[in-house]
Amino acid sequence: MNDTTTYHGTALLSYGFRPFFLLTALFAGLAIPAWALILSGATDIEFLYPSRDWHVHEMVFGFLPCVITGFLLTAIPNWTDRSPISGLPLMLLVIAWLLGRVAIATPWFSPLFVAITDAAFLTMVAGVVWYEIVTAKAWNRLPIGVIISLYASANILFHVLALSQTNTDLAARIALALMMMLLTLIGGRITPSFTEDFFDQHGLSNRPAPFSYIDSISIALVGIAALAWVISPESLVTGTALVLAGSINSVRLIRWQGWVTWPEPLVCILHIGYAWLAISLFILGISTLGIGLLIEDALHALTTGAIGVMTLAVMTRASLGHTGRPKQANVVTVLIYLLINIGAILRVFGPSLNLPEPFLLNVAAACWSGAYVVFAIVYGPILLKPSLDEP
């Protein structure tokens, strides 16, 4: 039989991006419509935690860890020159993630059991990351290990607060602040790198500006703003720091000359994703200062915008590149990018249009989750099949 058309169970567990990117897409395609139904009053489904806590937890500590794990398990072999996590170890990580989703979604289990079951996944991921860093002596990746460890700790804190019937916003802010840093560090590395590759492949003389003090200041300001937001989310200092971080990261983005990459959406979308990061920092800052959007809408610029767009940018590119396919976006991939951006724009800026809120939120949810559904339909078979460059 032809390996390129036959499905193999071993293919799915050959690399971390395969199961985790597919699960990310399927989960987003289910969880967001479920939340939309809850908000509309169409269902009275019960979870272990109140429905808002379920939504926040499952997007911040369910959806996000899934795609981050897929990315890290794919990137770490490049960082360490070691073999990828595959087979049984990868299967155990997948099972741990799935058990967490089931435990959180059902009200029948003991709260302590649910907390331990769900916390196990990110704890395991942090352990894998540290093991790979230490074994390969890849000390330049220490910040990634620290971020994932803090992320796992934030999840544990969420459960502690929820089970004690205390507001869980602190744990969610810690996690999202870490995502600000992760997007700044990783997005700030891969976006100019892939842009330079694009320029080379097309014989263009353009070049992204090399790493300089502007990049260092951009990263430092995001770190300061993120920490201030965790500690004092409504203060003048926090709002000012977020505005400054958003502004300097806009300058950082412009220096990469992303507008030249429009002929290749697979590269251009990285710039759009990073633009969402800069925008989200800026509008969250001015919202904190009492100007512009409501805090909740501004926060969705980070979650539905920066995180949502950058997630699909990475998922599409890695799924093609690591399965031996040309790194070029077809019409359906462009549709995915359009849907995720339309969904984010409607969710963030739609409320200011004074449209009926249920209608607006349902359309935004349909577009946003629809992008992931299309990914699952189109890229799912790619993730399940052996790579084209395999012998």
Count, in order, helices (H) and strands (E) of the chain. 16, 0
Which helix (H) or strand (E) segment holds residue 100: the answer is helix 87-105
Distances (CA, A) of 88 to 93, 94, 128, 144, 322: 9, 10, 14, 24, 20
Range of the domain at 20: 9-384
Q: What is the pLDDT of residue 4?
A: 38
Residue 235, Cα to own-chain centre: how many angstroms? Answer: 27
Residue 389 domain flag: no
Residue 195 domain flag: yes
Q: Which of 129, 133, 131, 13 is nearest to 65 (CA)?
A: 129
d(CA 82, CA 321): 19
Lowest mean pLDDT among 46-60, 125-139, 216-230, 288-302: 46-60
How many CB atoms neighbour CB 163 within 10 A? 15
Model pTM above 0.85: yes
Instruction: Report which of residues 388 and 238 the model is more confident about.
Output: 238
Q: Are 11 and 57 in contact (CB under 8 A)?
A: no
Quick: pLDDT tens for 44-93.
677 777 888 989 999 999 999 999 999 999 999 989 999 999 999 999 99
Longest dimension (CA), the chain: 65
Place of tokens 């860890």: 65
Residue 391 domain flag: no
Quick: pLDDT tens for 16-55.
999 999 999 999 999 999 888 887 776 667 777 788 898 9
pLDDT of residue 6 exceeding 70, the answer is: no
pLDDT of residue 315 exceeding 70, the answer is: yes
Residue 323 domain flag: yes
Residue 2 domain flag: no
pLDDT of residue 3 exceeding 80, the answer is: no
Q: Are 239 and 285 in contact (CB under 8 A)?
A: yes
Residue 136 domain flag: yes
- Output the DSSP codes for 214-262: HHHHHHHHHHHHHHHHHH-TTSHHHHHHHHHHHHHHHHHHHTTTGGGGT
Instruction: Record the tokens describing residue 235, joined without a space.
Output: 């203060």
Quick: pLDDT tens for 344-373.
999 999 888 777 777 888 899 999 999 999
Quick: pLDDT tens for 134-191.
999 999 999 999 999 999 999 999 999 999 989 999 999 999 999 999 999 999 999 9
Q: Are 323 and 355 in contact (CB under 8 A)?
A: no
Residue 160, C-beta contacts closer than 8 angstroms, at least 6 positions apart: 115
Burial of 101 (0-12, 13-18, 19+ CB in 10 A): buried
Residue 4 domain flag: no
Q: How many domains does the chain have?
A: 1
Residue 301 domain flag: yes
| Residue 90 belongs to domain with CATH number | 1.20.210.10
Q: What is the pLDDT of residue 7?
A: 44
pLDDT of residue 8 exceeding 80, the answer is: no
Question: What is the percent of the chain with per-residue pLDDT over 70, rounded to a whole number?
Answer: 96
